[in-house]
Structure 1
């Protein structure tokens, strides 16, 4: 069957796919922001590649108090502030976000989350997907947001 062989030639490079050298990480740069809680798993808060910045999903923990914000509006604001800290640490900003992924535990919270999101993005309209999930990694967390931004 065409296209299913492990020895299939790559249309661009001509090398068999399984023999191609792995992508180097020399251009990848982890990005962290001072004061944010450590990630709950083996991942970087942000990863910069050339002029793109990928930011992992952020929780609603206030770096000043170490406590999770309460309620969907306060959590959405804190999540976006945490996201913004990583963006700034990587040389970007909310105004340079290209795409967001929004994860909510209850779609009934969508209108209130959306109002805070709209206010903080201040007219900027990145592409976005919003989905309801059964649970998020931290107890009581109602919303998590990740993003991809460019670094001007």
Structure 2
């Protein structure tokens, strides 16, 4: 097992690893829309989704993987009425790749975020 902690991705907000690589899989912990300078972005689900997906891309690259190798994504969103806006950016970021996915509306997330995304990818 290898812990993945890219220097150019947001740091963990708790006692966990950003990602764990084991065998031919990498498990990316839930990512919040946190920019390079540590700012949590709120109020624009499209921008939030883009930031998260770019951070996941950075993490996967560090682990020797890529967005196109994601096999499963879980999305936690506070307002399901934003689903189509989220989906627009999500689809654009994955460029036609369609991994298995769950989208769940939740009442609260760490740091009062509007969205959190986790992923499992092949290496």
TM-score > 0.5 by shorter chain: yes
Query: How far apart, CA to CA, are the structure 2 residues paired with 1:88 and 1:35?
Result: 11
Structure 1 unaligned residues grouped into runs of 5+: 1-27
Task: Determine which structure has greater relative contact order: mean sequence separation of CA pairs < 8 Å that are 6+ residues apart, divided by chain length.
Answer: 2
1:108-149: CA deviation from partner (whole Å, max 9, x where unpaired): 01000011000000000000000001111012x211100000
Query: How far apart, CA to CA, are the structure 1 residues paired with 2:20 and 2:104?
Result: 23
Structure 2 unaligned residues grouped into runs of 5+: none
The total of aligned residue pairs comes to 122
Question: Which of residues 46, 52, 64 in structure 2 aligns to 1:79?
Answer: 52
Aligned to 2:80: 107
Q: TM-score under structure 2 normalisation?
A: 0.95
Residue 38 (structure 1) shift: 2.0
More strand by share: 2
More helix by share: 2
Query: How far apart, CA to CA, are the structure 2 residues paired with 1:36 and 1:119?
Result: 21
1:56-93: CA deviation from partner (whole Å, max 9, x where unpaired): 01011111x32222310000000111111110000000
Query: How far apart, CA to CA, are the structure 1 residues paired with 2:51 and 2:114?
Result: 12
Q: Which runs of 4+ in 1 moved over 6 A?
A: none
Larger Rg belongs to: 1
Aligned to 2:105: 132
Aligned to 1:143: 115
Query: How far apart, CA to CA, are the structure 2 residues paired with 1:87 and 1:133?
Result: 26
Residue 35 (structure 1) shift: 2.5
- Superposed CA RMSD in Å reads 0.9
Once the two structures are superposed, the pairs formed by residues 1-152 of structure 1 within 5 Å of their partners are 28-63=1-36, 65-70=37-42, 71-139=44-112, 141-151=113-123
> Residue 35 of structure 2 contacts residue 51 of structure 2 at CA under 8 Å; is this kept in 1?
yes
